[in-house]
Structure 1
Amino acid sequence: MTRRREPRELDALPYAGHLDAFDGAIEREGAYERVHFDGTVLADAQGGNCRFGESAFSSVTFEGGRFRRSRFDDVWLHSVRFVGTDLAETTWLDGECTASVLAGVQVHAAALHRTVFHQCKFDSVNFRGSTLKDVVFVDCLLRDVDFGGASLTAVSFPGSTLDAARLDRAALTRVDFSGALALGIASGIEALRGATISSLQMLDLAPALARHIGLTVKDG
């Protein structure tokens, strides 16, 4: 299981001294190595099949835009807003995202490996069919997030709140929800097989689990 670690500041990145300020426009199939995107608004950017390597995003806003099949290797994001952005089929490796917001974002069929989210807000984000491995959500809010059909391996949620999460047909392996502040499951309760939850979470989920197995609970 990926360890919980504290978020890093920009100057703590091993490539911080080699970053060049972004100047221009995002282009389809573009390559952006050691680039610092700072205070930029990217509206309806068409960045499909791009590659971002050892790059940093500070206070950047993505308004819409399409980044399908793009690759993000060793990227650092802080105070970034994704609103209605298409990140489907993207690949994320060794990423770190802090104090950011993702709202109405498509991340289906994506692959996230060794990625950490700190104090981020996810609202109506679609992870359907994605593969998450060694991913940690630390002190995050995940509201109406859809993990339907996704594969989650060694994923944990320390200090996070899940509200109306959907797990239909998801495959969970070594997934640890026990550190979450709240575990609200809207559908797919049966997918919790293979996951770890706390005793308090078990009590909260008991009615849904009883309904799933057809158990009638009757007092008196």
Structure 2
Amino acid sequence: MDRFRDRQQAGERLAERLVALGYGREPQVLVFALPRGGVLVAHPIAQRLGAPLDVWVVRKLGVPGHEELALGAIAAGGGRVLNEEVIRGLGIPAEAIAQVEARETQELLRRERFYRGERPPPELGGKVVLLVDDGLATGATMKAAIAAARAQRPARLVVAVPVAPPEALREMEALADTVVCLKAPPDFRAVGLWYERFPQVSDEEVLYLLRVS
């Protein structure tokens, strides 16, 4: 299995691909990371492109009692997606979904204040927006981020990830203007399996990288 050494290396390789595609010559590029792991991938990309680095806070909506299974996701700026197949299959009532969403919305707002402080999010109109994560599994959180970003009418919306399963990539290609992915293994299984080192990322690491970018 050809794996990335860590998120830093994955970001460096993604940056090389993006430069080869011409994004290093774009004057209006904004790089947004999905925290926390996406920040470590996005940091070398922002450095290589000479672009500002910011975060797009997202929250998975977990099935009550089985929170590891996503029934949908929400994103800062109002992005929201639901997995109707999961909801119908498990018979999850609307009241339960509303309770999960209300709880996760509070956490999303808390995290956005924590990461950004009083700094307002940048304007996206007419900009080239890169949404970066350390990989996609179901893609639910990325879909929510895309929905929120698209509402602000960027000139171009790009999803950039090191690894994702082919089916998730096909869904992203229908939503974003461009999808840049280095690996699309059919035997995907989990994002972390494609990294030699895949530790938890702390809030302190995120804040540090945002400060030095």
Q: Over alpha carbons, which structure has the higher Rg? A: 1
Q: Is this a same-fold pair by TM over 0.5?
A: no
TM-score (norm 2): 0.24
Higher relative contact order, chain-length normalized (CA < 8 Å, sep 6+):
2
User: Which of the two has greater helix per residue?
Assistant: 2
TM-score normalised to the size of structure 1?
A: 0.24
Higher strand proportion: 1
